[in-house]
Amino acid sequence: MAGFRALLLEKGEDGQQASRIAELSDADLMPGDVTVAVSHSTVNYKDGLALTGAAPVVRRWPMIPGIDFAGVVEESSNPLWKAGDKVILNGWGLGETHLGGYATRARVKGEWLVPLPDAFTPAEAMAIGTAGYTAMLCVLALEQHGILPDTRPVLVTGAAGGVGSVAISVLAKLGYRVIASTGRAEEKEYLTKLGADEVIPRAELTGEPRPMGKERWAGVVDSVGSKTLANALSMTKYGGCVAACGLAAGMDLPGSVAPFILRGVTLAGIDSVMAPRERRLVAWQRLARDLDSAKLDSMMTTIGLKDAAGLGPEILQGKVRGRVVVDVNA
Ligand code: NDP
């Protein structure tokens, strides 16, 4: 029986989790109608939570983490796919309830897969990964709420992180004026090269939120949550929209309804994990059109499978810049 290599997360009798590189057999794969030779995965914030056990992301043990993968179809009994097709998978419980992308092989439901756009190599698709695809979902939400390039500036919080880096690059290419908020002053040049017109310190958004502040931006892409989100809402202009996708600073929202009822501000919730297939296809088509590949390359670093576990604590501490690709064969 054919085998494959994976990063395996196991839980001991003491409840502690540990990871190791394991040689597994195809009999270990989970049910599905498409088998994929995985070439690349990536490290998102949620992967950091799974790798460290900081939050109960993993709900099946043992688990292969990795909420994303890119690869080539080996076998398919699903009419959507045939051997040789290049595919991507983001979310759908991968690395949570279904064996994930930190492996050289995966078996999944065909409906979870989307085609790899011609514009990207598998490594580039994983440099985008869930973080980048979520950034695009945020941009689509702003557009749907009428926040267009010719309106007023858009704030991106958690700017030097994965969602933030892709959001800035896409918004800049579309012609938006972008204000980037970061806790890392040393990343100003990086953010400016991605397309930020203005870089502001994270501290401007971490104070005690007021019900309403000075109107500063028409749209927001927020991956931080908590006081940052409450402050961003309070400074959103009349009729603006805030796309909230993340919780890097916390899950709470210590704010006021004032921006909603007095300024008509919309809070748009963004979920990538269970987003319908049609929406994913649109998001990936738009990424192919609206994300500059030179900028994508500038935000990407590549590691091997054995180094993925070490990135878990780093991404949770906000130390990772841009996006990390995992070459599962390295
Ligand atoms: P990253 O770690 O790459 O980026 C998060 C960024 O947030 C950091 O780089 C840092 O940016 C900033 N940050 C970190 N900690 C704090 C803090 N305590 N206070 C303020 N800012 C902080 O993660 P990702 O981009 O992969 O994910 C970002 C968030 O989005 C996560 O919470 C993740 O769970 C969520 N997410 C949600 C999805 C969904 O479907 N809704 C999908 C994808 C991600 P800087 O140093 O520039 O300030």
Q: Could you give the CA distance from residue 267 to residue 225 in angstroms, rounded to a whole number?
A: 12
pLDDT at 78 exceeding the cut of 70:
yes
138 lines ligand 1 (CB under 6 A): no
Q: Pick the range with the lowest mean pLDDT from 95-99, 115-119, 150-154, 195-199.
A: 150-154
Residue 152, pLDDT score: 82
Residue 2, pLDDT score: 79
The residues, ordered by sequence, that sit 6+ positions from 48 with a Cβ below 8 Å of its Cβ are 54, 311, 312, 313, 314, 315, 316
Kindly give the residue spans of alpha helices, DSSP state H, lying in the chain: 45-52, 122-144, 162-174, 188-194, 226-234, 258-263, 277-290, 293-298, 308-316
Read off the pLDDT of each residue in 273-298 and give the average, rounded to a whole number. Answer: 96
Helix, strand, or coil (residue 324): strand
Read off the pLDDT of each residue in 21-46 and give the average, rounded to a whole number. Answer: 97
Read off the pLDDT of each residue in 151-179 and give the average, rounded to a whole number. Answer: 96
Q: Could you give the CA distance from residue 36 to residue 30 in angstroms, rounded to a whole number?
A: 12
Domains with residue ranges and CATH for the chain:
3-116+299-327 (3.90.180.10), 130-269 (3.40.50.720)
Residue 150, pLDDT score: 85
Contact by Cβ (8 Å): 10, 18: yes
249 lines ligand 1 (CB under 6 A): yes
Sequence letter at residue 15: G
Residue 1, pLDDT score: 59
Work out whether the CA dihedral 308, 310, 312, 317 comes out positive or negative.
negative
Ligand 1 centre to CA of 14 (Å) is 31
104 lines ligand 1 (CB under 6 A): no
Contact by Cβ (8 Å): 116, 87: yes
pTM score over 0.75: yes
Read off the pLDDT of each residue in 58-86 and give the average, rounded to a whole number. Answer: 98
295 lines ligand 1 (CB under 6 A): no
pLDDT at 28 exceeding the cut of 90:
yes
- Classify burial at 298, counting beta carbons within 10 Å of its beta carbon; exposed 0-12, middle 13-18, buried 19 or more: middle
What does the pLDDT look like over 112-164, one tens digit per residue? 999 999 999 999 999 999 999 999 999 999 999 999 998 789 999 999 999 99
Residue 230, pLDDT score: 98
Peptide bond into 209 cis (omega under 30): no
What does the pLDDT look like over 288-326, one tens digit per residue? 999 999 999 999 999 999 999 999 999 999 999 999 999
272 lines ligand 1 (CB under 6 A): yes
Query: Mutate which of 41, 43, 45, 324 to test ligand 1's pocket (most atoms within 8 Å of Cβ)?
Result: 45
Ligand 1 centre to CA of 254 (Å) is 18
Q: Could you give the CA distance from residue 36 to residue 139 in angstroms, rounded to a whole number?
A: 30
Give percent of the chain above pLDDT 90.
98
Contact by Cβ (8 Å): 272, 245: yes
Q: Name 105's bridge partners.
A: 37
What phi and psi values does residue 3 have, to the nearest 5 degrees? -125, 170
The residues, ordered by sequence, that sit 6+ positions from 296 with a Cβ below 8 Å of its Cβ are 124, 127, 128, 166, 169
Q: What average pLDDT does the chain have?
A: 97
Helix, strand, or coil (residue 74): strand
Helix, strand, or coil (residue 43): strand
Q: Could you give the CA distance from residue 290 to residue 15 in angstroms, rounded to a whole number?
A: 45
Ligand 1 atom closest to 191 (CA): 47
